Chains A and B, each alone.
Chain A
Amino acid sequence: MIRFDYARPDDVAEAVRDGAGDHVAYLAGGTNLIDLMKENVARPLEVVDINRLPLARITDRDDGGLRLGALATNADTAYDERVQSRYPLLASAILAGASPQLRNAATNGGNLNQRTRCYYFYDVDTPCNKRVPGQGCGAIGGVNRIHAILGASDQCIATHPSDMCVALAALEAQVQVTGPEGDRTIAFADYHRLPGDEPWRDNNLKQGELVTAIDLPAEDFSTHYSYLKLRDRLSYAFALVSVAVAMRLEGDRIADVRIALGGVAHKPWRRIEAEEAIKNERPSDTVFDTAARALLAGAVGQGDNGFKIGLAHKAIVRALAQAAAGTPQSQTDKRIR
């Protein structure tokens, strides 16, 4: 771990001042940043400890939505009564990820900004364009069982590791950020990036910007939803493929639906066409299959991870069925409903 200067601001303005400049990292729960620093993947020269900022509250919004403070922990968010009753998809996705200890420390803002689990990114003795631009990608042609099938580039095939973000994508959350140039709001779909030619950029935060909150809109997806996660063991493992579904039925038809995938791309993967294709349809496996095809169109394997395409297809169909039936996947009972 590199040596760094340490600052502990008490308010947001001070934090933003401390966060200006090169080689600065904001430190919240630390569950990803400290890990990366120990691996010498992250080597900030200044660490700004933002844990004292007043950003840990979860508050109701005037429009009926909910504001999740960036420093509220994943656990406090998942077990918050309002989140449980109004955004159970989010609660479920959070509880599908990591471990209770990690969720107690990890924050909502940190969850958004966690970095890929790619083996090569994590091992400084291997090439990685995300870690060192221009170095090449070890995963392409290497060991890539856990890598992306969608939206990858010839520079990077890493995936975003979050479960929470998959639900946030489906819920069309908005990310509130502040920075040297003031406050702004980023739609969740625009927050994370595909790797393209700049794989070192995970998201669209500008230098020195800080996430302050995540806003959840007021729509009601509390009955028909599911978060289905497939992984190599039944708990405490990153997703091979995960699916977040938020659905609203009117009568026997799908009035609204959102589908986001985790574990398959550099960001939570959504395609509006896939959702539009099944709106106003009656729920059925045929309809779900249509959505899955549209969502996975253009998916390609990299060698070891080709299985994810078929797995994702089946998982989408099942998660849609779970949501339509109002029988969301339990994160405790591992039997897939």
Chain B
Amino acid sequence: MNAPHKVGIGTPLARVDGADKVTGRAKYAAEYAVPGLLYGVAVPARIAKGRIASIDAAAARAVPGVVEVMTHENRPKQAWLDHSWKDELSIPGDPFKALHDDRILFAGQPIALVIAETFEAARFAASLVEIDYEAEAHNVDFDTSLGEKFLPAKGMRRNTYHPPKARGDAGTAFDAAALKLSGEYRLATEHHNPMEMHASTVEWRGDGKITVYDKVQGSQNTQAYLAGAFKLSKKDVRVVNAYVGGGFGSGLRPQWQVQLATMGAILLERSVRVVMTRQQMFYHAHRPECTYEIRLGAEHTGKLTSIYGDATTSTSRFENNMEDIVTWGMMNYDCPNAEGHYTIAPRDTYTSADMRAPGAATGMALFEIAIDEMAYEAKVDPLEFRMVNYSETEAMNQVPFTSKALREAYREGAERFGWSERAPEPRSMKEGRELIGWGVATGMWDAQFSKTSARARLSANGDLEVASASSDIGTGTYTVMTQVAADTLGLSPDRITARLGDSDLPAAPVEGGSWAAASTGAAVQLACRSVAEKLFKAADEVEDRPLWGAKSIDDLDFVDGEMVLKSDPTKRVSLTDAMRAGGLDVIEVEETAKPGLSDMVSMARKARNTHSAVFVEVRVDEELDQVRVTRVVNAVAAGRIINPRTARSQILGGVVMGIGMALHEETFIDRALGRWMNHNYAEYHVPAHADVEDIDVIFVDEPDPEVTPLGVKGLGEIGIVGTAAAVANAIYHATGKRIRSLPITIDKLLEVAP
């Protein structure tokens, strides 16, 4: 008998949108051909704070092809109440409203939009708009802003913020500790820099209806936002984001280019496209700069006795962006005394934003550097140190995890890496003129699940379409949806079409926080199970009722387009036969996956997290301090893996961004001018191909039926968390130089004697 073979959850299916992407057919936001399209180019503010005294657009208007120069003086109506500008991930404060009035809140703020028949005409004319400013004193310097740091009052905090929960008496324990460590740890401002620049093509469809092709991580979020901000009816706004050229958080919230393009379309009643320049990409979302004071106390054995953290991250003057920085260390380690504090510091820039693993990427990395230091202090192997302080439960809230296979991740990662061969002393491993260092760090992120709907539609010929307004920002959502559907209904993937990235589709949240696979996957599975129920019922009409005896679809296997009786695999009915017998031309259902009552109880009582163990080898020139990351092993415990091929890519991507965080990425700001200065890809360095050698990804076995309906925890963030710390720790092991400020650029290493 043929063994049932099917593409299902756990199969390394090649990306289903691959052919479209490698042939250039995949359309991104700025690539939809729209008749009569106008091109808008934004004019950015030169100063960081003040007001616009006057705008002289005469020269710009004289350029042949220019249709309009839109400013705060002639823009269409906007909603006045801040409340109308809220989006799904709004941050408490006053949301930024482009061209709202004459106020300048940050350098680079768009203060005019030149709209022309061609991009070239708009670009040229934009350079001719003359602005006079009344400048006011600004501050963009993070250290200066620390003088104004504060913890927002309760109603003004982000709802994602978790206040650190103290236990024991960290101060007294620190004073009494045999081993003490204290230091200030830093992360520079980083920019997301997705490869696709933020872009919106707003198609004016007549009678007030618009279709917006937007680079954003949630189509329905943009839809609701535009409806609120510009007093449109939601049904008149359709938003499409079928392909998104990376996001990493910069597209969680609708960005200013969609405001400008929509206003331009309303003003002129024509279709308008606005694409940010790469330079302008630096004048919006960015990962906040961070300072983190850490104090650790430990016994001589390496057992932690006190954890104290106090962190501040940067935000703007108009919104209170907040992250969880100090909580990660408090949650991850078994230590009787812990205390944490957190504040934000406002500066005259655009509001900082969530960037890949917001909070954890920063807080966990910096904490894991401190942990490494304490391991050396205690003369305990850094991996062993983490085992000594391993916490089976979530230590801050003192609740169990739904699952935590971090111990296995440490073990499997260490074995693959060859950690046991490590010489303990810094500067003790060398080849030629290169010092070799091995470092380890821990990663931790949330496993989240959001209410998501999906539709499944099975045609009489056996073709299935699954659809949800979810997004695929490169994360593999198309493939996950296809695979879950294939798994549930036993269909070949080439009979399945996954649709997403369209606000007309069933409701789904913004893609971010690693929740899309678990949530969209669960919704697709529910919808496909509903289809299966209907097929099962229809199968009753098939002659001889081959499936007689089955009480529910759980008594059946869905394989190769057939329903097969588990108890007697010779008894089977094809899906198409069932539909024919049941007189069904099509089966279409929509289902919503959401946490049920038992899930709610579980969420309150248990922590749900992914974990990772990251091992890094660096080679550092002993004189010149050039660092090469030659080897990375990232062992990840993230529950069930839907697709090992695309999952591995997610981790690879996180690791590469972690290498960037460790070595390269830093946006410099000019204090006097209030401007980001290295606002391009040539001077803001993301890792290039030559910077990345060998990355090995391990998924440790971590069955967890409780965490989410599919047992999936999500992988978008965990790859970056801890990676930068592992690099920093490897650099210390190689060189004996402890750098507490990321990125570890060559100047920082040169300044320190080993």
Classify A-B as touching or not with yes or no (CB < 8 A): yes
Which residues of the other chain, A, contact B673 by a CB distance below 8 angstroms? 125-126, 138, 142
Q: Known interface pairs A141-B672, A233-B664, A235-B690. Does A3 touch B746 (Cβ–Cβ under 8 Å)?
A: no
- Chain A's closest residue to B664 (CB) is A233
Q: Which of B210-218, B411-419, B620-628 forms contacts with chain A?
A: B620-628
Query: Are A233 and B687 in contact, CB atoms less than 8 angstroms apart?
Result: yes
Query: Are A143 and B677 in contact, CB atoms less than 8 angstroms apart?
Result: yes
Q: Bound complex: CA of A189 vs CA of B269, how far in Å?
A: 60
Minimum C-beta distance from A17 to chain B (A):
27
Minimum C-beta distance from B397 to chain A (A):
40
Q: Which of A56-64, A173-181, A198-206, A307-315 forms contacts with chain B?
A: A307-315
Query: Are B675 and A314 in contact, CB atoms less than 8 angstroms apart?
Result: no
Q: Is A269 an interface residue (CB 8 A)?
A: no
Query: Which of A3, A40, A123, A307 lies in contact with B750, CB distance below 8 A?
Result: A307
Query: Are A311 and B624 in contact, CB atoms less than 8 angstroms apart?
Result: yes
Q: Mark A202-243, 1 if CB is under 8 A from B, else 0.
A: 000000000000000000000000000010111111101000
Q: Bound complex: CA of A232 vs CA of B403, how far in Å?
A: 40
- Chain B's closest residue to A234 (CB) is B690
Q: Bound complex: CA of A337 vs CA of B628, how far in Å?
A: 14
Query: Which of B672, B683, B688 lies in contact with A234, CB distance below 8 A?
Result: B688
Q: Bound complex: CA of A315 vs CA of B626, how far in Å?
A: 11
Query: Which of B46, B691, B750, B751 lies in contact with A233, CB distance below 8 A?
Result: B691
Q: Known interface pairs A145-B747, A314-B624. Does A120 touch B677 (Cβ–Cβ under 8 Å)?
A: yes
Q: Bound complex: CA of A267 vs CA of B433, how far in Å?
A: 31
Minimum C-beta distance from A137 to chain B (A):
12
Query: Are A145 and B668 in contact, CB atoms less than 8 angstroms apart?
Result: yes
Query: Are A314 and B672 in contact, CB atoms less than 8 angstroms apart?
Result: no
Which residues of the other chain, A, contact B746 by a CB distance below 8 angstroms? 230, 232, 240, 307, 311
Kindly name the residue among B127, B677, B745, B750 whose own CB sees the greatest number of chain A CB atoms within 10 A. B677
Which residues of the other chain, B, contact A335 by a CB distance below 8 angstroms? 432, 434, 619, 621, 628
- Chain A's closest residue to B749 (CB) is A307
Residues 543-596 (chain B) with a chain A CB within 8 angstroms: none
Query: Are B747 and A307 in contact, CB atoms less than 8 angstroms apart?
Result: yes
Residues 107-158 (chain A) with a chain B CB within 8 angstroms: 117, 119-120, 122-123, 125-126, 138, 141-143, 145-146
Which residues of the other chain, B, contact A13 by a CB distance below 8 angstroms? none
Q: Known interface pairs A119-B677, A315-B624. Does A2 touch B127 (Cβ–Cβ under 8 Å)?
A: yes
Query: Which of B44, B433, B682 lies in contact with A117, CB distance below 8 A?
Result: B682
Q: Is B6 an interface residue (CB 8 A)?
A: no
Query: Are B626 and A1 in contact, CB atoms less than 8 angstroms apart?
Result: no
Query: Are A235 and B691 in contact, CB atoms less than 8 angstroms apart?
Result: yes
Which residues of the other chain, A, contact B433 by a CB distance below 8 angstroms? 336-337
Q: Bound complex: CA of A336 vs CA of B687, how far in Å?
A: 19
Residues 287-337 (chain A) with a chain B CB within 8 angstroms: 304, 307, 310-311, 314-315, 317-318, 334-337
Residues 68-123 (chain A) with a chain B CB within 8 angstroms: 117, 119-120, 122-123
Query: Are B621 and A125 in contact, CB atoms less than 8 angstroms apart?
Result: no
Query: Are A236 and B690 in contact, CB atoms less than 8 angstroms apart?
Result: yes
Q: Bound complex: CA of A120 vs CA of B670, how far in Å?
A: 10
Q: Known interface pairs A1-B120, A1-B124. Does A238 touch B675 (Cβ–Cβ under 8 Å)?
A: no
Q: Bound complex: CA of A232 vs CA of B746, how far in Å?
A: 7
Which residues of the other chain, B, contact A117 by a CB distance below 8 angstroms? 682-683
- Chain A's closest residue to B123 (CB) is A1
Q: Bound complex: CA of A145 vs CA of B663, how far in Å?
A: 15
Query: Are B46 and A125 in contact, CB atoms less than 8 angstroms apart?
Result: yes
Minimum C-beta distance from A134 to chain B (A):
18
Q: Bound complex: CA of A264 vs CA of B738, how far in Å?
A: 28
Q: Is B678 an interface residue (CB 8 A)?
A: yes
Consensus secondary structure, chain A interface: loop
Q: Bound complex: CA of A126 vs CA of B690, how far in Å?
A: 33
Query: Which of B434, B628, B678, B689 lies in contact with A143, CB distance below 8 A?
Result: B678
Query: Are B679 and A123 in contact, CB atoms less than 8 angstroms apart?
Result: yes
Minimum C-beta distance from A131 to chain B (A):
14
Query: Are A230 and B626 in contact, CB atoms less than 8 angstroms apart?
Result: yes
Query: Are B683 and A146 in contact, CB atoms less than 8 angstroms apart?
Result: yes
Which residues of the other chain, A, contact B751 by a CB distance below 8 angstroms? 307
Which residues of the other chain, B, contact A119 by a CB distance below 8 angstroms? 668, 677-678, 683
Minimum C-beta distance from B751 to chain A (A):
7
Query: Are B624 and A40 in contact, CB atoms less than 8 angstroms apart?
Result: no
Which residues of the other chain, A, contact B747 by a CB distance below 8 angstroms? 145, 304, 307, 311
- Chain A's closest residue to B660 (CB) is A233
Q: Is B669 an interface residue (CB 8 A)?
A: yes
Q: Is B685 an interface residue (CB 8 A)?
A: yes
Query: Are A318 and B690 in contact, CB atoms less than 8 angstroms apart?
Result: no
Q: Bound complex: CA of A288 vs CA of B679, how far in Å?
A: 38
Query: Are A143 and B624 in contact, CB atoms less than 8 angstroms apart?
Result: no
Which residues of the other chain, A, contact B663 by a CB distance below 8 angstroms? 233
Minimum C-beta distance from B694 to chain A (A):
14
Residues 518-547 (chain B) with a chain A CB within 8 angstroms: none
Q: Bound complex: CA of A38 vs CA of B126, how far in Å?
A: 12
Kindly name the residue among B123, B433, B682, B687 whose own CB sees the greatest number of chain A CB atoms within 10 A. B682
Query: Are B688 and A236 in contact, CB atoms less than 8 angstroms apart?
Result: yes
Minimum C-beta distance from A306 to chain B (A):
8
Kindly name the residue among A138, A234, A235, A315 whose own CB sees the greatest number of chain B CB atoms within 10 A. A234
Q: Known interface pairs A141-B672, A232-B745. Does A237 touch B685 (Cβ–Cβ under 8 Å)?
A: yes
Minimum C-beta distance from B81 to chain A (A):
33
- Chain B's closest residue to A235 (CB) is B690
Query: Are B689 and A235 in contact, CB atoms less than 8 angstroms apart?
Result: yes
- Chain A's closest residue to B692 (CB) is A234
Q: Known interface pairs A233-B663, A311-B746, A336-B433. Does A238 touch B688 (Cβ–Cβ under 8 Å)?
A: no
Query: Are A234 and B691 in contact, CB atoms less than 8 angstroms apart?
Result: yes
Which residues of the other chain, A, contact B619 by a CB distance below 8 angstroms? 335
Minimum C-beta distance from B383 to chain A (A):
27
Q: Bound complex: CA of A2 vs CA of B125, how far in Å?
A: 9
Query: Are B124 and A336 in contact, CB atoms less than 8 angstroms apart?
Result: no
Q: Bound complex: CA of A160 vs CA of B683, how far in Å?
A: 15
Query: Are A235 and B688 in contact, CB atoms less than 8 angstroms apart?
Result: yes
Q: Known interface pairs A117-B682, A232-B745, A235-B691. Does A2 touch B124 (Cβ–Cβ under 8 Å)?
A: yes
Which residues of the other chain, B, contact A40 by a CB distance below 8 angstroms? 127
Minimum C-beta distance from B119 to chain A (A):
10
Q: Bound complex: CA of A286 vs CA of B705, how far in Å?
A: 67
Q: Known interface pairs A1-B123, A235-B688, A307-B746. Does A125 touch B675 (Cβ–Cβ under 8 Å)?
A: yes
Residues 143-197 (chain B) with a chain A CB within 8 angstroms: none
Which residues of the other chain, A, contact B685 by a CB distance below 8 angstroms? 232-233, 237
Query: Which of B123, B624, B688, B689 lies in contact with A336, CB distance below 8 A?
Result: B624
Q: Known interface pairs A233-B664, A334-B628, A335-B619. Does A143 touch B688 (Cβ–Cβ under 8 Å)?
A: no
Which residues of the other chain, A, contact B680 by a CB distance below 8 angstroms? 122
Which residues of the other chain, B, contact A1 by a CB distance below 8 angstroms? 120, 123-124, 127
Query: Are A336 and B621 in contact, CB atoms less than 8 angstroms apart?
Result: yes
Query: Are B623 and A314 in contact, CB atoms less than 8 angstroms apart?
Result: yes
Residues 312-351 (chain B) with a chain A CB within 8 angstroms: none
Query: Are A138 and B745 in contact, CB atoms less than 8 angstroms apart?
Result: no
Kindly name the residue among B127, B626, B687 whose own CB sees the greatest number of chain A CB atoms within 10 A. B626
Which B residues lie at the A interface, using CB under 8 A?
44, 46, 107, 120, 123-124, 127, 279, 432-434, 619, 621, 623-624, 626, 628, 663-664, 668-670, 672-673, 675, 677-680, 682-683, 685, 687-691, 745-747, 750-751
Can you show 20 pairs from A to B with CB atoms below 8 A apart? A117-B683, A122-B680, A123-B675, A123-B677, A125-B675, A138-B672, A145-B668, A230-B624, A230-B626, A232-B745, A233-B664, A233-B685, A234-B628, A234-B688, A234-B691, A237-B685, A240-B746, A307-B746, A311-B747, A336-B621
Closest 4 CB pairs of A and B: A235-B690, A307-B747, A119-B677, A125-B46
Which A residues lie at the B interface, using CB under 8 A?
1-3, 38, 40, 117, 119-120, 122-123, 125-126, 138, 141-143, 145-146, 230, 232-238, 240, 304, 307, 310-311, 314-315, 317-318, 334-337
**Given contact pairs A123-B279, A234-B688, a sample of 17 additional A-B residue pairs in the complex whose CB atoms are under 8 Å apart:** A1-B124, A117-B683, A125-B44, A125-B46, A126-B670, A141-B672, A142-B670, A230-B746, A232-B685, A233-B691, A237-B682, A238-B683, A307-B747, A311-B747, A317-B623, A335-B619, A336-B621
